[in-house]
Every structure is written in C-alpha cells, then in structure tokens.
Amino acid sequence: MTTPENIRPWGRYDILEDALTHKVKRITVNPGGRLSYQRHHRRAEYWVIVSGQARFTLNDVDSDHGSGEVLIIPLGAKHRVACVGTETLVFIEVQLGNYFGEDDIERFQDDYGREENARGSR
C-alpha cells in the first residue's frame, strides 16, 4: 500500500521491490506533470513505459515515447520525464547501483519550487 510520502506534485510512485542490488518502482505522472530535471550519482535507471505519452529529456535532448518503449538513464546523466498526453503516464523504473535513497537526487530545475532542496524527493 502506498504511503502519503510517495505522493508528489506531479503524481506518485509505488515501490514494488527494494533489495540490496536494485529497487523497482511504478511511477505515475499526471497529465501535464513532469519530474525534476535531475541526476543520480549512485545509480542508473531503466524505465519501461506501460501507458501514456512521455516527453523524455536526457542530457538536454528531448524525445517523445509511448507504451512498450524502454528508456535508459546512465549513471550521472541529467534526465526528466513529462506526461504530454491526456492519459496518465505510467512506467516501471528499475534502479541499479550501490544506493537507492531519495537523497541521491541532484536537482537542476523543478516546476514545483523544490530546487532549494537539491537533494531529496523527486
């Protein structure tokens, strides 16, 4: 069951698995919502889009993606995703690295005024 701390201004995430070697989340982004432009120093991420339309930014390059596509975020790469359609964006995130805490987030830009808290929640 999702706890309130998993609710974000752009949507929510649910932790499906949390292990020493990886973490798996289901991330839901509301239409018009987007995550912070961010990077991680201790993990890479792999996103599989389940439904909806995504505008993906990787190191300042935008591209659009849909259901069934896989997006790869290398360790240290700047990235963000936005829900650009009218349907909620849902994707599965697999994190691989040596640390999976929410404090391994370096924010560069945030639509919700969270840049001041450069390390912390998405």
pLDDT higher than threshold 50 for residue 120 = no
The residues pairing with 91 across neighbouring beta strands, listed in sequence order, are 27, 49
The whole domain housing 96 covers 4-100
87-103 pLDDT, tens per residue? 999 999 999 999 999 89
Please tell me what DSSP assigns to residue 34: B
Confidence of residue 115 (pLDDT cuts 50, 70, 90): low
On whether residue 121 sits in a domain, the answer given is no
- What is the arithmetic mean of pLDDT over 49-68? 98
Three-class secondary structure of residue 10 per DSSP: coil
Which CATH number do you get for residue 34?
Answer: 2.60.120.10
pLDDT above 90: percentage of residues in the chain: 83
On whether residue 22 sits in a domain, the answer given is yes
Distance CA 78, CA 85 (A): 23
On whether residue 112 sits in a domain, the answer given is no
Q: Exposure of 19 by Cβ count < 10 A (0-12 exposed, 13-18 middle, 19+ buried)?
A: exposed
pLDDT higher than threshold 90 for residue 74 = yes
On whether residue 95 sits in a domain, the answer given is yes
On whether residue 116 sits in a domain, the answer given is no
Please give the tally of structural domains in the chain: 1
On whether residue 114 sits in a domain, the answer given is no
On whether residue 12 sits in a domain, the answer given is yes
pLDDT higher than threshold 50 for residue 83 = yes
